[in-house]
Amino acid sequence: MDIVILAGGEGLRIKKIIKNKSKILLKIKNQTILERQLNQLKKINNKIFVSIKKDDFKIKNLLNKQKSIEIKFLEEKKRLGTAGCLNALNNYNFNDLLVVYGDTLFNIDFKNFIKFHKQKRSKLTLFCHPNNHPKDSDLIEVDEKLRVKKFYKKPHTKDFKGNLALAGLYIINKKLLKLLNKDNYEDFSKTFLPKILKKGYKVYGYKSREYIKDIGTPKRLREARKDFNSIKYKKGNLANKIPAIFLDKDGVINEEKYNFKYQKPFNFIDGCFDAIKKINKNGYLVIIVTNQPAVAKGFIPLEKLKRDLYKLEGIMGEHRCYVDQIYYCPCHPQKGFKGELKKYKRNCNWRKPNNGMLIEAIKKYNIDVKKSYMIGDSFSDYLASKKTKLKFIKVGIKKKFNSRLGFKDLKSAVNYIFKI
């Protein structure tokens, strides 16, 4: 896999801090962003292209000291943008190219990213994740096979389009470079990506829980420096186990109104956003696992449920928090409902009190079960957590069962976890 680091940006949003040097030379602890990127990328290939402004001697001097890596400079005589600079690579032989934005700090298992790209036979694979600032992030929408359906260019005003943000990292097949404007400025998000999607090429989103943060603003640079010493960064790589907090949805995040056919996910319980924000801040994953039998009963179409959950992720983003994954089970074994869907009239292993959703998340995200929790309001939540050997915390006012740990709401439960 060939690699190119894009290091020719102006750094306008962080100009006061970088002054007359590239933002890729900013330091996280005792190393520059560029050096930290190289430490991980050389495990894939020790020959790396670096796109820079013409005569950027500060970057050149740093890279010329790298003894274990062969650097090839691509110098821009004029500003070519985050896609236009790739034109210089048309003269080289390769199949796929890993493109890395120079203003990102990351801790990533690239082998999995590359494996996903190859398995999908993708022409372009976008590394993406939920974040706490979707309003100023480029967002994508994917189908169940993770193929990109839609692209939403930043900035966004009202009604965020979910919360699956591009992260300044992608793998592109060389054949797509023919779509670039020759020797002219081209921005990846503004023109190049929409052009690729319009042509109908296979584009996939690689959704990951791994750590990646752009340091393009003073605030995000401060956050990255703080993250570096925390569980967020240290456990960020998929090869490392990470703790998670599993949440039921109805009765935990949003109010559960009995005798209603479908629990709309937008009647939020006070304090739920603060609670999820605290989980995010402490570096735990947030995984929602919810039974949604209204689909099997024929009360709502499956697509309606999907759109509501997608909107839920966007609302979380509006409140500066995010969930890493939402799992739902549309099945229900009881028959006799008008309009019920036979294919969902079963007790599948995902339907709580079974623990299929939890097991799936544990495998996918390499979750540390011993340090993880399940927060729910029902006996089925308790049984699912017990089968999975998770610590269980009950919330809400249901009195059908007693739990050793119980709190009035999610915020109180989360405050307890992080005071232990």
Q: Among all residues, which ones are annotated catalytic?
A: 248, 250
Tokens at residue 128, please?
A: 């993406």
* Residue type present at position 47: K
Output the six-digit token pair for 115.
Answer: 């494996």
Rounded Cα distance between 74 and 63, Å, is 13
**Residue 336 in contact with residue 350, Cβ under 8 Å?**
no
Task: Report the C-alpha gap between 392 and 386 in whole angstroms.
Answer: 8
Helix (H), strand (E), coil (C) string for 235-260? CCCCCCCECEEEECCECCCECCCCCC
Measured CA to CA in angstroms, residue 376 lies from 252, 256, 268, 310 at distances of 6, 12, 15, 21
Give the integer Cα–Cα distance in Å for 16 and 420.
41
CA 254 – CA 270 distance, rounded (Å): 9
Q: In what order do the strands lie in the sheet with 406-407?
A: 325-329, 285-291, 244-247, 373-376, 391-395, 406-407
Residue 189 is classified by DSSP as I
Residue 411 CA neighbour count, 13 Å, CB half: 8
Report d(CA 405, CA 420) in Å as an integer: 13
Contacts (Cβ under 8 Å, ≥6 apart) of 37? 5, 24, 100, 102, 104, 106
Question: Which of 257, 253, 287, 289 is closest to 270 using CA atoms?
Answer: 253
| Beta-carbon contacts of residue 80 (< 8 Å; ≥ 6 apart) | 8, 87, 183, 184, 185, 186
